[in-house]
Structure 1
Amino acid sequence: MNALRSALHLLWMAITVIPWATVVVLIAPFTSKSVVYRVCRAWLGLTMHAGRWILGIENRVTGMQNLPTGATDGAVLLVKHQSAWETFCMPPLMPHPLAYVFKRELLRIPFFGWAIGRMDMIHIDREHRTEALRKVTEQGRRLLGQGVWVIMFPEGTRIPRGEKGAYQSSGARLAIDCGVPVIPIAVTSARCWPRKAFVKTPGIVDFSIGPPIATTGRKAHEVTREVEAWIETEMRRLDPEAYPTAETPRSAVRPSA
């Protein structure tokens, strides 16, 4: 049954992405980036609801009170990345427009890539690290100044359930350069939508939004360690059966002053 439900959801996405992407490509030259974003956000919202109706995946969001409330307040969201589910869900769940930092290879995906290429986001070439970091800083500063939140996956790629990738400091560096806080977010999507898996299972995906982490006057590696400590400790609280022991990750122990 789960395989059939997964096939139906994939078919639903394949059928709906074509007219959605076509509309985005056609209207993009004649309208604002904010309108393009809203059209894309609407499709992502439908995809999220289709996941609930077809796959039986429910979202449970906690910590919304930790998000900035001002219309122009900036933030860099650093999110645990386990599957494509959080990529679809974050824009409809968040109260502010988001700009993803993503590898430019995604722009080559038919229809989906063509559509996201019309959005005001930050696509980078990972093979040219220096240029990529410069682009993230320049475009990130511009977007944050417009009240758009920048979202990044600090581990860089999807991580299997119960595992931890190497946390990169580029998100913290951007937040420090722009004088905005970092918001750590733990996500347990792999319980229902495992990495690179075709078959998805019904269940609850937790999105836990942590307290804002101040960046003023701090080093990027210090902020990154704090983000890593919070997310990985929270992952063990939310999904304890995914981890063989309940011990606190070594990175969660902050050095003494």
Structure 2
Amino acid sequence: MPVTAIRSLLFAIVFYAGSFGFVLTAMLLGWTAPGAVQAIATAWSRFHRRCARWLLGQKVVVQGDLPHGPYLYIVKHESMFETIDMLCLFDRPAIAAKRELLDIPLWGGIARRYGLIPIERSAGATALRTLRAAAREATAQGRAICLFPEGTRVPHGERPPLKSGFAGLYGLLGLPVVPIAIDSGRVSPRGRFLKRAGTITYKVGEMIPPGLDRKEVEAKVHAAINALNAG
């Protein structure tokens, strides 16, 4: 416990102090060179992974072949870790996020320049058109589209149903789905300051084709993203 506490404190100091520098740089360059924001965000993600590896003792392992292309990547969500680490897994991924997050002062402006895809809570026609246009623009740029279908971080071992937004995005985009399980909650539990050393595993599931009915695709995705959960 003392070693874990010391490591967690060092991580918090180094990572958050360093993050302030990345945010400040993104704010300054975002106005004059919007394209630089994506490069800064990627560098920040790599900085986060290095902090996790060398300060917390957390190693990352990917099980299975991770394809890269115009796919919809559906990822289990247990910790802040994968929220940031997506930029290490993929090249400038377009991450679907709640619209409210883009309204946060300062951070929201950077997120918009980076190219996050906003998801409206109400599935109105205008919101769906905006979502489709943003997703198509991202795929045209060769960027991955990532979604955390549970809507929020869940403790390791829990298997909540998927939010309806996944089925809507799946039907809207018509892209193959690559489901990815992760067990980050074992070593970096939600809402806990203490983070333990260990291995964080991504497990890539079998690709799911477009065009399936909602019940079938949700069942396949739910099983795949929970492959690292017992039961």
TM-score between the two structures when normalised by the length of structure 2: 0.88
Give the match for residue 228 of structure 1. 222
TM-aligned CA deviation for residue 224 of structure 1: 1.8
Query: Are 2:155 and 1:154 aligned?
Result: no
Query: Are 2:61 and 1:67 aligned?
Result: no
Match of 2:195 among 178, 193, 200: 200
- Classify the secondary structure of the residue corresponding to 1:157: coil
Give the match for residue 76 of structure 2. 80
TM-aligned CA deviation for residue 19 of structure 1: 1.7
Whole-Å separation in 1 of the counterparts to 2:11 and 2:117: 28
Whole-Å separation in 1 of the counterparts to 2:123 and 2:56: 38
Query: What percent of counterpart residues are identical?
Result: 32
Name structure 2 gaps, 5 residues minimum: none
Q: Deviations over 1:220-255 (max 9, x none)?
A: 3421221112222x123xxxxxx4xx4xxxxxxxxx
TM-aligned CA deviation for residue 161 of structure 1: 1.2
- Classify the secondary structure of the residue corresponding to 1:196: coil
Whole-Å separation in 2 of the counterparts to 1:177 and 1:107: 22
- Classify the secondary structure of the residue corresponding to 1:12: helix
Whole-Å separation in 2 of the counterparts to 1:110 and 1:48: 26
Cα 1:19–1:58 shift into 2, 3 Å: same
Map 1:66-215 to 2 at 5 A. 66-68=66-68, 73-94=69-90, 96-107=91-102, 112-126=107-121, 128-130=122-124, 132-215=127-210
Query: Conserved in 2, the CA contact under 8 Å of 1:172 and 1:220?
Result: yes
TM-aligned CA deviation for residue 108 of structure 1: 5.7
Q: Deviations over 1:47-98 (max 9, x none)?
A: 11111111111111122x2413xxxx3111100000101111121122x320
Superposition CA RMSD, Å: 2.1
TM-aligned CA deviation for residue 158 of structure 1: 0.4
Give the match for residue 219 of structure 1. 213
TM-score between the two structures when normalised by the length of structure 1: 0.80
Cα 1:79–1:227 shift into 2, 3 Å: same
Q: Deviations over 1:90-143 (max 9, x none)?
A: 21122x3201111244346566555324211113343x3435544333311221
Whole-Å separation in 1 of the counterparts to 2:79 and 2:160: 14
Give the match for residue 22 of structure 1. 24
Query: Conserved in 2, the CA contact under 8 Å of 1:169 and 1:220?
Result: no
- Classify the secondary structure of the residue corresponding to 1:15: helix
Query: Conserved in 2, the CA contact under 8 Å of 1:143 and 1:149?
Result: yes
- Classify the secondary structure of the residue corresponding to 2:113: coil
Give the match for residue 5 of structure 2. 3
Query: Conserved in 2, the CA contact under 8 Å of 1:100 and 1:152?
Result: yes
Map 1:232-251 to 2 at 5 A. 232=226, 234-236=227-229, 243=230, 246=231
Tell me which amino acid in the other structure corresponds to 1:14. Y
Give the match for residue 55 of structure 2. 54
Query: Conserved in 2, the CA contact under 8 Å of 1:74 and 1:149?
Result: yes
Tell me which amino acid in the other structure corresponds to 1:67. P
